[in-house]
Amino acid sequence: MKPIAPGAISAAAEAFLRPEADPLPSRRRERSWDLCVSHFREHPRPTEVMETSCLHLGYYLASWGMLRGSSFLFRETNLLHYQGVIEVIEKHDPSLRGWDVPDYLDPVKYEHFSLAWTDLYKALLPEGGQGLTLISKVMMGVWGCLPSFDTFFVATFKGLSETRAERGAWNRAGRDALGMLHDVYDQHADEIEHVRVCYPVWDFASGGPSERRMTRAKVLDIYGFHESWKG
């Protein structure tokens, strides 16, 4: 892959999160991820607060365009649909809580991720269909463990790819794509860790920064999204 310029990841985070324009409490969409991931971090057994868990996940997905007019979630579902999804999340939480980019090369943890992906797909899209963006966005919103493989993120990393095989890898959240993200982290670990310190996760109670840090996958998610979205 082509190298990412030093400072580019930090610049993307600053431009995306716009800290200088953040009145407290922030009402902007960029923070919907913070509120969702905070809920699931605070509730490792989210079925115990089922309605609230469904509401958090559903609103987060809606805020990021997953309930558009042509989608299955928009046409065929209401809040009750997410109950099965929350059960899947609780089932896989022990395996995926804390899983992040440095762990992507671990074959055992990858198998846990793959099983969770399959179960989430079945729960969210029982009629089938394209699930790359939706499932990755759920994993990002719940665990922060995987960038959202949406149009903008994929476009950025395809643009950094130098071979046909590298470009093709971004069509799925598989071993090859995760391996390249692991390499990016290795090359930019200091910068990514600095971003995590500078931009803590916000919570609902205060409407402002908490003691939690963004995951490394979230930092790469912001970079990938912003680099193509800004243009």
Compute the mean pLDDT over every residue in the chain, rounded to the nearest whole number: 93
The domain in which residue 45 lies consists of: 8-226
Per the structure block, which two tokens stand in for 175?
A: 């071993």
In a domain, 231, yes or no: no
The single residue listed with the structure tokens 């029982």 is: 126
Given this model, what pLDDT does residue 182 score? 98
Given this model, what pLDDT does residue 24 score? 58
CA 93 to chain centre: 15
In a domain, 216, yes or no: yes
In a domain, 1, yes or no: no
**231 pLDDT band (50/70/90 cuts)?**
low
In a domain, 169, yes or no: yes
In a domain, 155, yes or no: yes
Q: Do 114 and 178 form a contact (C-beta atoms < 8 A)?
A: no
Mean pLDDT over residues 107-122, rounded? Answer: 98
Distance CA 47, CA 25 (A): 28
Number of domains present in the structure of the chain? 1
In a domain, 26, yes or no: yes
Mean pLDDT over residues 155-161, rounded? Answer: 97
**21 pLDDT band (50/70/90 cuts)?**
low
Distance CA 53, CA 173 (A): 25
The single residue listed with the structure tokens 């692991």 is: 182
In a domain, 3, yes or no: no
What are the b/e assignments for 111-150, b being 16+ CB within 10 Å? eebeebbebbbebbbeeeeebbbbbbbbbbbbbbbbbbbb
Distance CA 106, CA 157 (A): 22
Residue 142 has pLDDT above 90, yes or no: yes
In a domain, 2, yes or no: no
**26 pLDDT band (50/70/90 cuts)?**
low
pLDDT tens-digit series, residues 64-110:
988 887 788 888 889 999 999 999 999 999 999 999 999 999 999 99
- For the entire predicted model, the pTM comes to 0.94
